[in-house]
Amino acid sequence: MSAKIKLVVIGNGPVGHNFLEYLVESGNSCQYQVTVFGEEPLPAYDRVHLTAWFKNQDVADINMVSEDFYPKNNFILHTGDKVINIDRTKKLVTSASGMKVHYDKIILATGSFPFVPPVHGHQRDNIFVYRTIEDLEKITAAAKTAKIGTVIGGGLLGLEAAKALMDLGLKTHVVEFAPRLMAVQVDDGGGAMLRKKIQDLGVSVHTQKNTQNISDGDTAVHKMSFADGEILETDIIVFSAGIRPRDELARQAELSMGERGGVIINNNCLTSNQDIYAIGEVALWNNKIFGLIAPGNAMAHAAVDHLTGTGTSEFTGADMSTKLKLMGVDVASIGDAHGNTPNSRSYTYVNDREEVYKKIVVSEDDKYLLGAVLIGDAAEYGSLLQFMLNKMELPSEPEGLILPRVDGSSSGIGIDALPDSAVLCSCMNVSKADVVETVQAGACDMAAIKSCTKAATGCGGCTALVTQVLNNELEKQGVEVNTDLCQHFSYTRQDLYNLVRIEKIKSFDELLEKHGSQSGTGLGCDICKPTAASILASCWNDHVLDEKLHSLQDTNDYYLGNMQKDGTYSIVPRIPGGEITPDGLIVLGEVAKKYNLYTKITGGQRVDLFGARSEQLPAIWRILVDAGFETGHAYGKSLRTVKSCVGSTWCRYGVQDSMGMSILLENRYKGLRSPHKLKMAVSGCTRECAEAQSKDVGIIATENGWNMYVGGNGGMKPRHGDLFAVDLSDVELIQYIDRFFMFYIRTADRLQRTSVWMDNMEGGLEYLKTVIIDDKLGLVNELEQEMSAVVGTYQCEWKTTIEDPIKMKRFEHFVNSKRHDDNVIFTTERQQIRPVLTAEKNTETITQ
Amino acid sequence: MTTNMTNKQWVAICNIDDILPNMGRCALFNNKQVAIFRVLDSAGGESFYAIDNYCPFSHANTLSRGITGNIDGKTVISSPLYKQHFDLLTGICLEDKNVKVNTYPVRLDGHAVLMSEATINVS
């Protein structure tokens, strides 16, 4: 076996890491002995979303590296150790800790550093930059004793930093040298609108300010003096005045450099040395540094292709168009945003009421799009970008592309007109052809597209466009995008929910008669009946074994227990928050002993009793109900448990009473029926012992209240919940959960967990916030009332059932005999019962 | 479709009210577990069906606890554990035509639900 090629990757930022991901994807990584050096103590994290770290100051939120990525691929990673020397003669790199590693090839991905202009006083304390988690930690610590924070630099990153300062509770200023914010990406008109919107949020913006001196302040830590004689007092200063390549190692290695820094690379990302590649913000291509993630990734791809010889992609420059949300404000810039192209024309739409600014720059003959600026509403970003990138001919009167539609028609692009090569997602470099292929291979929703292609998982700016391509392709394939619930109803679950709610439909028969698709011959089926039962329960909350409803229920709901593989049931009494008295435990133990039930503690902090035959259920529940237990709804598509840690009551770290909150929430939402099961958890501090981020709704205590997460999931496809709101009071928390659950119940598909529902939601988390928090749809009162109706009509289904002798009769196994099902046979294992295996069964049973 | 049935004794199993509309119940008949279903159509008509209670997929006596309905015009029961559908008239599984459960004659006489010892062959 030939020796492996020794590859040293210097730098473990996003681009350096993505290089390794691509190397693995290329299938060639086993030919290389890979050593990675990273200067920071942590493995690669997503710098683009650095601000997300502030939400709960947890690196996991922006971590890019799965735990086993490096060991699984036999890559050696040295974090906290930077390379200080490259010896090209000996082909040896040396690190700060003295480690020496031989190389055949080097990938230089050292990134950049924030530029701090040599203003007098810039080395004072309480002055920071905004690039690493360490920077953020320092800013957070300093903010604790500060009142005012100022960012020098009103570019993209500067505004991100301003948001961070604001979130830390500081009165925030932005100081910009140019006459407008985001001077590179945005024109004057757009800059003015952006400024207005950002000032509305409480940030003071100072443009055309040249900071000349920083000295001791009179009322705050610093006094900033500007060239025009004005001053500004502030406690914290964050410099965000651009980036410079981290090229000192390249200089030392005597690679060819640009006049103003940066390592010169060719289209293959090779430097002047045949064995050294450079990628990302350290690399200079065609005399340009690219300070965005997408071009960095494209360079990483080109370097992998050239190094391994498995691909042909080259780096030939990058489109610097960008769309982002700054402090909740949509901002997008495409191509020639300033109209610098000779003879270009521009069209502008300004709406002062909605605070929206849109401009397009087109060619002299109106045929091609050259650039655009969108502030306040960037919905057209995706289609405008495609017009430009693919040089597609514009419709006549191109101004129509940015004018509001009065007739409700959709603006923009014909999906079919897009070439296959069109890059829909530039962050992940996903083309239209990639999406189409994935659909042809069987993907049929956004969640599948995201997981297969990673499209729309970066900045998310392309979500709407990718969705259009997906639907278009499904339609074309004749995969009729059939959203019918089943053959009995030509409606989605959401449609049926609305029909039931609006027409006050109370039974399945009524629903079938009014809206069924088989004109009088349909009976329903095992899809529509339980779905209708769930909807009727969410809306009217009648007992599931009500005369009109019982035949719609799945066997689990009908028997109010969980059917196991042998046809017996398991029983889960509700134990809110997992809190139970010794007497309660004794009752459970006694019942289990009396009926010889297999007993297990569940993951949701309660007790599951297995092996009850249907005819035993009423007697068992009689004992449980008498002892004060209620049904746990483990059998229903409904709220399961609210898991909890003991919180501030017992734990030395707890900052809120998570026990009390979890019990309150479990008692509030118990019995709520929904499209799928619902799980919740409450953690008493940021250590998160209740694992709340893996729940549909997770709550984590903070010093100031509660942080709320939504859309988490464990199971087959784990998903961390998204941070939805921070520092909520008890009242706000319950309000938001009420609204969230009801909105989910109203709009989700059948058996769609909140995680998948979130993944498929157009506009995603931000949209959800506008609905639940900002009340964009004017719904929140309705949602709260609907929840309040459900909460107010709660009954323990088992208590009601055992009080009704007619209902009790149904639990007998035989309609005409008191005998038991003799195919239910147990044996003993670890001192408890278990069902016998088929092979262990006596074949002479009366069944077969 | 022709149905051949040798006429034998009918045996009373239960009262009609013991089986709720659109539900199934398990009965002990000739020492065998049988699932009897009472299915209402939209015109108010009512049909009774009887098949094995034993589900050949889950190997458990569960079919009487499934949900009734119709699929492609056939009146069916869905297995509560793994959700296969069985045609109540023929016993044939819709998802796997090679799997078939036994069907039995059942009828209503006044308020009494009757079963016969005959076996039916539907061809």
Residue A561 DSSP class: S
Q: Which amino acid is at A788?
A: S
Q: Give the DSSP per-residue string, A174-234.
A: EE-SSSSTTTTT--HHHHHHHHHHHHHTT-EEE-S--EEEEEE-SSSSEEEEETTS-EEEE
The enclosing H or E element of A800 equals helix A797-802
- Quote the pLDDT of residue A592: 97
Alpha-carbon distances of A495 from A490, A637, A752, A785, A821, rounded to whole Å: 9, 19, 15, 20, 42
Give the 3-state secondary structure of residue A801. helix
Per-residue buried b or exposed e for A517-545, using 16+ beta carbons within 10 Å of the residue's own CB = ebeeebbbbbbbbbbbbbbbbbbbbbbbb
Map out the domains of chain A as residue ranges. 5-112+245-308, 127-241, 418-481, 493-553, 638-795
From A522, A551, A815, residue closest to B14, measured CB to CB: A815
Residues of B in contact with A488 (CB under 8 A): 69
- Quote the pLDDT of residue B120: 54
- Quote the pLDDT of residue A406: 55
Give the class (CATH, top level) of A638-795: alpha beta
In CATH, the number for domain A127-241 is 3.50.50.60
Instruction: Return d(Cα B81, Cα B55) in angstroms, integer.
Output: 9
Single out the residue of A389, A388, A380, A390 nearest to residue A412, CA to CA: A380
Cβ atoms of A576 and A660 within 8 Å: the answer is no
The enclosing H or E element of A732 equals helix A730-747
Q: What is the pLDDT of residues A518-527, one digit of tens each?
A: 766 789 999 9
Fold of A5-112+245-308: FAD/NAD(P)-binding domain (3.50.50)
ipTM of the complex: 0.91
CB atoms within 10 A of CB A223: 17
Binned at pLDDT 50, 70 and 90, residue B118 comes out as low
Best of A546, A810, A816 to mutate (most B CBs within 10 Å, chain B): A816
Cβ atoms of A230 and A145 within 8 Å: the answer is no
The percentage of residues in chain A with a pLDDT greater than 90, rounded to a whole number, is 67
Residues of B in contact with A555 (CB under 8 A): 62, 65-67, 80
Nearest-Cα distance to chain A for B70, in Å, is 6
Q: Which amino acid is at A156?
A: L
pLDDT at A411 over 70: no
Q: What is the pLDDT of residues A193-244, one digit of tens each?
A: 999 999 988 899 999 999 999 999 999 999 999 999 999 999 999 999 889 9
Token digits for A136?
A: 């953020």
Determine the average pLDDT of the residues in A50-58. 77
Residue A689 DSSP class: T
Residue A673 DSSP class: B
Determine the average pLDDT of the residues in A361-389. 90
The two domains A5-112+245-308 and A418-481 share their CATH topology (first three levels equal): no
Residues of B in contact with A846 (CB under 8 A): 31-33
Architecture of domain A418-481: Orthogonal Bundle (1.10)
Q: What is the pLDDT of residues A677-697, one digit of tens each?
A: 999 999 999 999 999 999 999
Q: What is the pLDDT of residues A525-548, one digit of tens each?
A: 999 999 999 999 999 999 999 989
Token digits for B117?
A: 């010892």
Residues of B in contact with A565 (CB under 8 A): 58, 60, 81
Q: Which amino acid is at A668?
A: R
Best of B42, B47, B76, B93 to mutate (most A CBs within 10 Å, chain A): B42
Instruction: Return d(Cα A547, Cα A511) in angstroms, integer.
Output: 16
The enclosing H or E element of A452 equals helix A446-453
Single out the residue of A559, A541, A568 nearest to residue A802, CA to CA: A559
Taking the Cβ of residue B34 and every Cβ of chain A, the question of whether any pair is shorter than 8 Å is answered with: no
Instruction: Return d(Cα A392, Cα A421) in angstroms, integer.
Output: 13
pLDDT at A837 over 90: no
Single out the residue of A466, A55, A83, A74 nearest to residue A247, CA to CA: A83
Cβ atoms of A469 and A440 within 8 Å: the answer is no
- Quote the pLDDT of residue A323: 82
- Residue at token pair 């900045």: A459
Per-residue buried b or exposed e for A8-36, using 16+ beta carbons within 10 Å of the residue's own CB = bbbbbbbbbbbbbbbbbebeebeebbbbb
Taking the Cβ of residue B31 and every Cβ of chain A, the question of whether any pair is shorter than 8 Å is answered with: yes
Binned at pLDDT 50, 70 and 90, residue B8 comes out as low
Residue B21 DSSP class: T
Residues of B in contact with A551 (CB under 8 A): 20-23, 67-68
pLDDT at A846 over 70: no
The percentage of residues in chain A with a pLDDT greater than 70, rounded to a whole number, is 97
Nearest-Cα distance to chain A for B3, in Å, is 24
β strands within A308-445, DSSP E: 322-326, 329-335, 345-351, 356-362, 369-375, 423-425, 430-431
Nearest-Cα distance to chain B for A45, in Å, is 43
Q: Homologous superfamily of B13-117 in CATH?
A: Rieske [2Fe-2S] iron-sulphur domain (2.102.10.10)
